[in-house]
Structure 1
Amino acid sequence: MRKILGAISALAVLATASAQAETLKLVEVITSPERTKVLQEQVDAFEAANPGTEVEIISLPWGQAFEKFATMVAGGDIPDVVEMPDRWAGIYKDKLVNLNDKIAAWEHGKTLTQKTLDMGRQTDGESARMIPYGFYLRAMFYNKKLLQEAGVEQPPRTMAEFMDASRAISELDGKYGYCLRGGPGGLNGWIMMAATMNGDNTFFDENGKSTLNQPGSVEGIQFLIDMYQNGYAPKDSVSWGFNEIVAGFYSGTCAFLDQDPDALIAVSERMEADDFAVIPMPVGPSGKAFPTIGFAGWAMFDTTSDEDLSWKLIAHLSSPDANAAWAKRVGVIPIHEGAEQDPHFKTEQFAGWFDTLNGDQYIPTVMPTYLEQFGYFADSIALESSQEALLGQISAQEVADKWADFLTEEYSRWKEAQ
């Protein structure tokens, strides 16, 4: 009888444990083998600290992530937690939980930097629809050996020098000046060049009209078209995404790469530190440059079956120790105060980004991700039309007008809703 009762008791315990077991679905969208590995390690630690909880990681390839994720949500296959790029936040903001109260009650909430809090609330300026996990700031990598071989005495400080140096390097056999990102995720480059040649990174004028088709902005768009059509970038770079441009740099195919700190990981693994360096983006005619600053973060959908547990996962991934580990291995600027004192970030390798942050002539540009359809604009409209421009199918003025018309309409719609 005791054995029977013991067996019944054991089954009851198992049944209770099974009933209490929770499964969270987490979607990552800026996917790479290293990122997935780091995320899995942090999820494993979360599961170990929360027995009975399982986290299913769904990894979407970045090139198709926008469409695949939209299809998931539209079909009701909605995750509990998602890696949310800044430019998608406007699309999903009404479906995301406001984390303000949870952050206020969180033991690590007070050490989040103000920029982290501000960016997490950028959809309406008030509601924290995500906790950013770090920031991407654009700077210029350059290959010292290729510059020397081409007779370029110093890395470019201006846009004119950038074009001249790219021309000289492209005269070398099988080499090119610039790793152009013509494929997915390439909008940042177009926006930077437009703003830098225009001398202003304001997206809309006082009348709410987009500035992207102002003469200076068109000149910046033409700059990239010329770079490609003159042969200063590889022909297949019209479709290059992140992995291709980074590989183009560390393989020695092209001498210049404008990228965020995440590119430093792959480059450092494959190039000697003495062979490359990172400098701020070249300045335009106004003497200023406007490097883009972006971010992604952890957000929670309001359809989650367990809001407390989903928040617990976000808090775990966003804690100072976890975020520092993530920032070092993924390549972002951390989100907690004091992180810049970490020896990992106080090296010459990060000089280009810190010089950018500290230089008055470098003005970081925040994309208008508060616009509801900005994600669609960036990943669909801008991608298709910029490729058409590179291939000579439409002019710089035509692509600028198309972008300006779309953004002006979106801004008007956003303004009316405020």
Structure 2
Amino acid sequence: MIKVIIAGIENQQSNFDYLMQELAELAYANNMQVVADIRQGLQRPVAATYLGKGKIEELSRLAEVKGAEMLILNDELSPTQIRNLEKETALAVLDRTELILEIFSSRARTKEAQLQVEIARLKYKLPRLRTSSNEKLDQQSSGGSLANRGAGETKLEINRRTIQKRIAQLSRDLKNLDKEQEIQSSSRRESGLPSVALVGYTNSGKSTTMNGLLNLLSDTDIPPAKQVMTKDMLFATLDTSVRKLRFQDKREFLLSDTVGFVSKLPHNLVKAFQSTLAEVKNADLLLHVVDLSDKHSAEMVKVTTETLKELGVENTPTIYAFNKADKTDSRYPVIEGQQITYSARDAKSLHALADLIKRVLFKDYKTHKYFISFEQGRYLEKINQLALVTDTTYNENGAIITAEISPAQEEYFARFLTE
């Protein structure tokens, strides 16, 4: 495990302690050991080196004593700042943005996530190319010889063009993959099933909550292969999982687990993952999971809300689910309006959460009686597919159906109303 020193500038940030603690957890998530935490109370970063001269000398001595090989900074640095720090400290230097990108790169499992992360990493690298760049950039080319370039073209310009071509190719590949994903999403929407999306800070317990609901609202035990991976670590999983769940009264809904958020999530990464987060944008209900046991939970809610806003998600109905109450002195499960205090590892809590989801998700559904003639059999098939049919009787002309209907379906089947 590589030994690292983390460092940051307070810069009048009220949540500075929290950000530094989170930086240490990000380093751990990237299989690094933090051996020292350096902080400086500057009003703004030093233009050339980010940290002041005295602080750089201090951390250089500390790195030698602790055997550190790398310095990780709490902000996104300019190429000049990184280059100068590497020269001054003789350490490899990583800023917060690149650290997060490295974690995402190592955790991406699906083809879509891998493409999204690689695009974000290349966009980060593009303005940071140096004339001393090694041959790895050339190897990322999507093909084609560079031997015939103009004689005056530098290696840096060639590398820049190579990365730009690679980004363009990856973007095309992602666009084609997005079309396939959109077909799947459209199919889910056409099923008429309402959807619930789990959102929240990374490591807040979203995946544990999803697995708990899967086991509760399924007829049989869910095998490990069908469950969502959980681990006590930031960004344990990046891939979106969608499952169909059924209540005892046969009402059904789709539940999706998505990538978690974190402070200062790189803009290019948010942009790259917009297609993955489409399940959030299209959801009928958000389940905002919060780690109640973390003293910074209010900051986590703020970060998640701001990231959702950046994605264009602001007015979707939301249940605030304060998880990990078993690690606090709070009573649980407790429901107050559209808020629940619970533990995702507690059966009684999961029952309460499921009841709350059902109450909020189906609150605008109404029960009506319809008559559909045999000549309009395709509508009979449609209502059985989309709605919760509770009773069906027949006469010589057609079917009399009692069904619970969503607001959107209500308008679609209005012509068949009998009462």
TM-score, length-scaled by structure 1? 0.26
Higher strand share: 2
Larger Rg belongs to: 2
Higher helix share: 1
Larger relative contact order (Cα-Cα within 8 Å, sequence gap ≥ 6): 1
TM-score, length-scaled by structure 2? 0.26
